[in-house]
Each structure stands twice: as structure tokens, then as C-alpha cells.
A and B are shown apart, each in its own frame.
Chain A
Amino acid sequence: MENASIAVPPSGGGAFLRTVDSASLSHQLPHEKLAWMLRKMCETRYFEEKAEELYTRGLVHGTMHLSIGMEASPIGSIGALEPDDLIIHHHRGHGHTIAKGADIAIMMGEFLGKEPGYCRGRGGSMHIADMQGGNFGATGIVGGGIPIAVGIGLALHMRRSSQVLLSFFGDGTTNEGAFHEALNLASIWKLPIVFICDNNKYGMSMDVHQVMNIEYISERAASYGIPGVSIDGNDVLTVYQVIGEAIARARAGEGPMLVENLTYRWRGHSKSDRNLYRTQEEIAEWMERCPIKRFKQLLVTEHIMDEVEVEDIDLQAKETIDQSAEEAVLMPEPSPENMEDEVYAP
């Protein structure tokens, strides 16, 4: 008897990939917008380099997750929001917080566990939130923020708000049950959320393709009946454009979407690691695709900015970070007194 052949659907292929002509897009966007993107990407990069430095100097008690090499995703995505829109993100969230307009000194203060920090030193790197700025914070539980995103989206929906929420998480996170439950719920209730997966190829040491038999995480959207798309997450304008479309869709009441930003983290998973799960060649190859370098090149090649302007923005970002760090180091420590009074709201 002939072997019954089982039809295996082609896994993704290029069908889920979306490309954007960022060169022409760069001419359509206001100069300030492009300058803002470059500045925020540089601030994120310098913030994290400073974080590393402070860490090495023994000034940081706790852990951190650096997103160096991934800056285009948070900045491009959040750059497409209106100021009163909302975000919720995850442990690798410095870029998201900076892009949402955090005061860098206060953020650095939180990183150092200081009283004037965003969470009064109770949260640290992994839990920075800026509620007033519409930033519902980072979580240390992989996937924990996604069901909460559904609740935020639900409140927006029930109040007929025109605000939109971006919910960020990593590739490894999409194997958590919380991801599945939350996307399904957001889909059936048509909530104004854009789910953004920062796929940096690894969950800690685990290669994404060892833990899922699909090419693109955006394929998962199909099972919730929402659109899914994967993009070059190291190109800030591609991110800006595609997330912008998803935001417009969500704002128009058409429900959520899943966007996968393909990117890569240069540093180890947390603090540092020995990179035993990947090759130096792979890291070097991705460093060539540095989102900041690429964006600078594009701006210059397209004559949007000259090199002087580009480097000026870069320098300003560095100065902002240096100043913020100096301020933060001098901030007062929180006191353990009355700590228990803060567990419950009055």
C-alpha cells in the first residue's frame, strides 16, 4: 500500500515577511520625528552602556537585561504612538521606557535603587514603570504582562477611549500559556492592542527554532484570527511604518494584531553570559546590522541630515545619559522605615 502522504503546510516562507522602502519613507516624515528616533535610540544605547559600566563598578545591586542591538523595535514602535497612548512591556524594557518619554535621571535612579526613582527603588531595572507617562511597566515574569495588556485594552474599549496600547514581549515568551490565552481574548473582544514580539532569536540560551516548529512567530496570529506580520526589526523606519499601520487599525476598532520585530541582542541574556549557545560569527554578523548605524547611514545617504547633525544628536544623547547618571548616583537611598505601609492602597 502506498504511503499516505500527509500534507505539511509550508511553514511561513516569505508570506509573513513585510518590507518597507525606508529610504522613501524618510523623505515623508518630519525632520523632528527622525531626529527624535535617532536621539532615543542613542539614549537607549548609552543608557545601557552606562548601566553596564555602573554594574561593573559595583554600583548596582541586582540584575539587568540589556537590549543593545535591539533599539529600533521599541523606538520605532513607540514613535508611532500618540502621546497619550499606552505601553506595557517586559524585562528587556529600557528602550521602551526611554521611548515613552521617561525622565532619564529618574529612570537611572530606579536602576540604582534610589528613592527618587520611578518606583522609589522598589522595582529596579526589571520593574520600571511610569504610570503618568502611560508606561505600565516591565515585569519579571515571562509572559506576565500580556494578560494585563488585555485588561488595559478592555478598559479602553469599555470606556470607548481612542487610546491604543502596545504590548511588548520576547520570542521565548510566546511559548507561555499566558500569551495564547491573552491573544485569543484580545481577538474575540477586538481590543485596541498591538502585540509586538521582539524576536532576538533566543530566550536566554534557547534558540527560538528549537522550541517552535514554525519559521515566523507571526504565524501564530492565524490561530487567533488576527493578522500577523514579521519585519526587519533592526530598521527603525520599517518598524515605525508597520506598527503605525497596526496602531491605526486598532484605533479604528478593528482589533489587535501581532507584529514580530526580527532583531538580535548583542550582550548576554542578563548582566552577561558566556555565549555558549551562539557563535562569535553570528554576533559579529548582527553587529554589522546595528540599527543605529543603519539609521545614521540612511539619514546621511538620503541627505536628510549631514554627518555633523547626526553626530551632534548622538553626542547630546551621550551627554544626557552621563548627566543623568551623575545625578542618579547622588540621589538618596530609600529608607526601610514604614515599608509595610505601602503594600496596600489606602
Chain B
Amino acid sequence: MSDQKTREITYLEAVREAMVQEMRSDPDVFLMGEDIGVYGGAFGVSQGMLDEFGPERIRETPISEEAIAGAATGAAMMGMRPIIEIMFMDFLTLAMDQLANQAAKIRFMFGGQTSVPLVCRAPAGSGTGAAAQHCQSLEAWLVHAPGIKVVAPSTPYDAKGLLVTSIRDNNPVFFMEHKLLYRTKGQVPEDLYSIPFGQAEVKRPGRDLTVIAYSNMVVRALEAAEILAVENIEIEVVDLRTLKPLDEATLIASVCKTGRVLIVHEAPLTGGFGGELAALIAGGEAFDFLDAPIRRLAGLDIPIPYNRTLERATVPQVEDIVAAARILAKEGK
């Protein structure tokens, strides 16, 4: 990797680059979605792709989420590798029959006769003032549908490498792109590379407590870590990168080392993925190493409000992570 040429690009460009490079090397890969052509997609992810690949492979659709997801499912069963862009993660609810009842289940239900290699990408999360129906983080819905894999990268480097893996995977993969990450920058190799699923990454090592996060909450946790370091609290930030499959070993090892764990996600607390992580930690070998209760910091159980102050108050901010970590670092001492 070291001799590869890297340069700084945005998360959004990294997502696009993964699609472009995979489409160049595999004629079965194509992109489908609403306004992805001349408009370049609602957030500009596919900008310029129409020029290179034409309307056959940058395939614009009517506003028909269920048909988009179904078309991807059928094409995938035929051996194509469709990528679909759902304009906002919230609109997944309209495509959910095809994703959860069809794509996820067809392989198993048909006794392994076929597979469904599709990627569904969607921008998620709050912070843009788009309110209750354009800001959700619905990853827990998807991890609850066996048959789907769920990927939630937090950096441009991870976004490119994981999207490549998603496209090459032989299963339906949901690829979660947090809107606030789109403009973030990072070093990304020019060449194609892939990051295996099921490998969490310790984004910052620390001795006092573990923060488990994914997607944009990793960025916030890292900021919180900087602030806490000044107070001599060293937090270890574990970025799950993929929720399904889940790298249990890395997160368990981290908790065993620090003895304290704060799980952070933006989605509402109740029924959120954090509950699953907490149960996993409490039920395994890390339990004996815990010096304090497992803590969760998550979105409030309310729709995302429009007003900026209310919106901020609804999901964990850097200062919330700092505050929670500060308390947890002393708990049980």
C-alpha cells in the first residue's frame, strides 16, 4: 500500500471513485436511481458519471423506489451487479419490501439456487436541517433482515475500500453514507483497493475507555478524544465499519483492555444497534473485565426536528460524548 499514490479527496469523491473504477473494470456493474444523470444525484455523488458511462449504465429511473430495488434484485439474480442510489435513507421504507422480503431472503428461500449481488447506497443522518423525513439512520432495520450486509464507513479511505468490497460481494449490501461525511477529506489511494468486511478498526488507541461507533459518530468520538486527552482521559475509538458482519473480536479485545465502554450511535436509542452491542459485551468474555456498567449514548426516541437547536439536541454531539466519557471514566472507581 505504501508505494501507492494517494492524495486527499472527499468522502463523496471516494464513493464516486469506487463506483467509477469498478464500472471500468466490470461491465456488469451499473448504477440506478433517481436524478443520478445530468443532475449527478441529490448530493452530487454521481456527477460526471453519465458522461463516461452513458445512460445505459447510469440508469435514471422514475420516482419508484420499490421498482428500483426490485429491478436491482432481478438484475442481480441474472448475474449483474447493480448499485442503486436511494436519494435519502428515509426512502428505504418505500423499497423495504424488495430489500427485506425479496433481496435478503431469495437466496435462502430458494435453497441456495441463486444469489443477489446488489449494493444499495443511501445518504443518512441528521445535521442538515432536513427534518424528520430526510434525516434518519435506519441501519437497525437492515441488520434485522438476515441476508443483508450493512456497511457504514466513516472516512474517505474506508468509503472507497468498503464500497469496492460491497460491489464485489455476492449478497445484498446496504452502504450507509452520512451526509455530513460527504465533504470530509482524507488520504485515499488512486488505485483500486478493497477493505474486507467484518474488520473493525481502532481509529485511536487509548487506555481508559472504549468508545464504539460507526459512520459519523466516529468523527465525533475522535474529536471528543482530543478534548479528553487534555484532561488526561485517553479514549480508544473503535470504528465498526461494518455492522453486519460484525467484528466481535476487535471490540471485545478493546473492552477487555479498557474495562469501560461507551456505545455511540445517532439512531434512536430504543431498538438501536447499540443494544445489540451491549448485549454482546455483557454476554461474553469482556463481561469479567468491565469496571463500570456498559453505557449507551444515542439519538433521542423522537423524530429528527427541523430547528437547528432541537436537531442538535436530538443526536449525540461532541460535547455529549465528552460529558458521557468523563463520567464513565470515573464510574466504579
Binding site for B on A (CB under 8 A): 88, 117-123, 127, 129-132, 136-137, 139, 141, 144, 146-156, 158, 177-178, 181-182, 184-185, 188, 342-346
- Asked if B171 CB lies within 8 Å of chain A CBs, one says yes
Contacts of A342 in B (CB 8 A): 107-108, 111-112
Docked-complex contact B69 and A155, CB < 8 angstroms: no
Docked-complex contact B67 and A178, CB < 8 angstroms: yes
Could you jot down 10 A-B contacts, CB within 8 Å?
A137-B106, A141-B102, A147-B66, A147-B98, A149-B70, A152-B78, A155-B75, A181-B64, A182-B70, A345-B117
Docked-complex contact B109 and A127, CB < 8 angstroms: yes
Instruction: Give Cα distance in the complex from A342 to B112, angstroms.
Output: 7
Docked-complex contact B108 and A150, CB < 8 angstroms: no
Docked-complex contact A148 and B110, CB < 8 angstroms: no
- Please judge, given known A-B contacts A158-B80, A182-B70, A188-B62, whether A148 and B98 are in contact too, CB under 8 Å: yes
Instruction: Give Cα distance in the complex from A141 to B98, angstroms.
Output: 10
Docked-complex contact A148 and B73, CB < 8 angstroms: yes
Contacts of B66 in A (CB 8 A): 147, 177-178, 181
- Please judge, given known A-B contacts A150-B74, A151-B74, A152-B77, whether A185 and B147 are in contact too, CB under 8 Å: no
> Which residues of chain B from 68 to 118 have a CB within 8 Å of any chain A CB?
69-80, 82, 97-98, 101-102, 106-117
Docked-complex contact A155 and B74, CB < 8 angstroms: yes
Docked-complex contact A346 and B170, CB < 8 angstroms: yes
- Asked if B307 CB lies within 8 Å of chain A CBs, one says no
Docked-complex contact B102 and A139, CB < 8 angstroms: yes
Docked-complex contact B62 and A131, CB < 8 angstroms: no
> Which residues of chain B from 157 to 208 have a CB within 8 Å of any chain A CB?
170-171
Task: State how many angstroms separate the Cβ of B27 from the closest Cβ of chain A.
Answer: 9
Docked-complex contact B79 and A147, CB < 8 angstroms: no
Choose from A120, A121, A147 the contact partner of B74 (Cβ within 8 Å): A147
Binding site for A on B (CB under 8 A): 30, 56, 59, 61-62, 64, 66-67, 69-80, 82, 97-98, 101-102, 106-117, 146-147, 149, 170-171
Docked-complex contact A117 and B170, CB < 8 angstroms: no
Docked-complex contact B111 and A120, CB < 8 angstroms: yes
- Please judge, given known A-B contacts A122-B110, A185-B61, A345-B107, whether A154 and B75 are in contact too, CB under 8 Å: yes
Docked-complex contact B149 and A151, CB < 8 angstroms: no
Docked-complex contact B101 and A147, CB < 8 angstroms: no
Choose from B30, B102, B110 the contact partner of A158 (Cβ within 8 Å): B30
Instruction: Give Cα distance in the complex from A151 to B79, angstroms.
Output: 11
- Please judge, given known A-B contacts A122-B111, A150-B67, whether A343 and B147 are in contact too, CB under 8 Å: yes
Contacts of A178 in B (CB 8 A): 66-67, 70, 97
Choose from B79, B110, B149, B171 the contact partner of A123 (Cβ within 8 Å): B110
- Please judge, given known A-B contacts A152-B78, A185-B71, whether A144 and B113 are in contact too, CB under 8 Å: no
Interface centre among B64, B76, B110, B112 (most CB of A within 10 A): B110
Residue of A nearest to B64 (CB): A181
Docked-complex contact B109 and A147, CB < 8 angstroms: no
Docked-complex contact A131 and B78, CB < 8 angstroms: no
Q: Which 8 A-B pairs have the closest CB atoms?
A: A147-B70, A151-B74, A120-B111, A155-B78, A119-B111, A181-B67, A345-B115, A181-B64
Docked-complex contact A344 and B71, CB < 8 angstroms: no
Contacts of A131 in B (CB 8 A): 77, 110, 113-114
Task: State how many angstroms separate the Cβ of A64 from the closest Cβ of chain B.
Answer: 16
Task: State how many angstroms separate the Cβ of B332 from the closest Cβ of chain A.
Answer: 37
Docked-complex contact B78 and A147, CB < 8 angstroms: no
Docked-complex contact B113 and A118, CB < 8 angstroms: yes
Instruction: Give Cα distance in the complex from A149 to B78, angstroms.
Output: 11
Docked-complex contact B110 and A129, CB < 8 angstroms: yes
Docked-complex contact B114 and A153, CB < 8 angstroms: no
In the complex, besides A155-B75, A184-B62, A185-B71, 7 extra interface pairs with C-beta distance below 8 angstroms are A119-B109, A122-B110, A137-B110, A148-B102, A153-B74, A181-B64, A182-B67
Docked-complex contact B146 and A148, CB < 8 angstroms: no
Instruction: Give Cα distance in the complex from A120 to B61, angstroms.
Output: 36
Task: State how many angstroms separate the Cβ of A341 from the closest Cβ of chain B.
Answer: 10
Contacts of A141 in B (CB 8 A): 97, 101-102
Docked-complex contact B73 and A155, CB < 8 angstroms: no
Task: State how many angstroms separate the Cβ of A238 from the closest Cβ of chain B.
Answer: 29
- Please judge, given known A-B contacts A129-B113, A158-B56, whether A150 and B70 are in contact too, CB under 8 Å: yes
Task: State how many angstroms separate the Cβ of B113 from the closest Cβ of chain A.
Answer: 4
Interface centre among A139, A155, A342 (most CB of B within 10 A): A155
Docked-complex contact A343 and B98, CB < 8 angstroms: no
Contacts of B75 in A (CB 8 A): 151-152, 154-155, 158
Contacts of B106 in A (CB 8 A): 137
Contacts of A150 in B (CB 8 A): 67, 70-71, 74
Docked-complex contact A119 and B113, CB < 8 angstroms: yes
Interface centre among A123, A148, A153, A181 (most CB of B within 10 A): A148
Docked-complex contact B74 and A149, CB < 8 angstroms: yes
Residue of B nearest to A116 (CB): B111
Task: State how many angstroms separate the Cβ of A61 from the closest Cβ of chain B.
Answer: 16
Instruction: Give Cα distance in the complex from A33 to B112, angstroms.
Output: 33
Interface centre among B82, B112, B147 (most CB of A within 10 A): B112
Docked-complex contact A181 and B62, CB < 8 angstroms: yes
Instruction: Give Cα distance in the complex from A151 to B82, angstroms.
Output: 10
Task: State how many angstroms separate the Cβ of B73 from the closest Cβ of chain A.
Answer: 5
Instruction: Give Cα distance in the complex from A224 to B218, angstroms.
Output: 47
Task: State how many angstroms separate the Cβ of A35 from the closest Cβ of chain B.
Answer: 30
Choose from B62, B78, B109 the contact partner of A156 (Cβ within 8 Å): B78
Contacts of A149 in B (CB 8 A): 70, 74
Contacts of B79 in A (CB 8 A): 155
Residue of A nearest to B146 (CB): A343
Instruction: Give Cα distance in the complex from A31 to B112, angstroms.
Output: 38
Contacts of B115 in A (CB 8 A): 345
